[in-house]
Amino acid sequence: MKKLLLFILFLIPWYLGLSILPINTAYYYSLKTPFFISTPIVLTSWGIIYILNSYISSSIIKEYNFKYSKEYLRSLLFNYIVNLSFLYFFFSLKSLFLSFTCSVIIFISTLIMYYEIQELKPNLKYYLCFYLGINLITITYLLILLFSNL
């Protein structure tokens, strides 16, 4: 029960950020997007990432407590803030370049999270492989969007 509450505690901020920042879908649909990426796949992938991040965080906190996992929590917080900035840059400012830059920073912060997880609980690092893969796809996708919408 305690692990479930901890999991929900970590999951709420990810979805709360989505509900606070305005998502301008009209802007997204106005872009020249490549044919191989569909919106439901993108939304499902990021939903899975939020669930995996919450699972990893709750597992680490349950085993190591807050005192021994400060570095991981810092990297998680930085990753969370950059994820929110991506939504702001993409949907509010409508800046593809800043969104692309933010994606690269998200990828780097995910690598840092991978390293921190490897130090604390090595078997959980494999859950971040999906996140890293989606980040690489997002970076490639945004690069294509950037050049096709100049």
The domain limits of the chain are: 2-13+48-148
Confidence at residue 96, expressed as pLDDT on a 0 to 100 scale = 93
Q: What is the pLDDT of residue 37?
A: 74
Angle between helices 96-120 and 70-87 (to 10 degrees): 160
pLDDT of res. 104 = 96
The low-confidence residues of the chain, meaning pLDDT below 70, are: none
Q: Position 86: which residue type?
A: F
Q: What is the largest CA-CA distance in the chain?
A: 51
Q: How many residues does the chain have?
A: 150
Strands, DSSP E only, in 11-85? Answer: none
User: For the segment 13-29, what is each residue's pLDDT rounded down to a tens digit?
Assistant: 888 887 888 777 788 88
pTM metric for this prediction: 0.88
Contact 87, 116 (CB under 8 A): no
Distance CA 52, CA 147 (A): 32
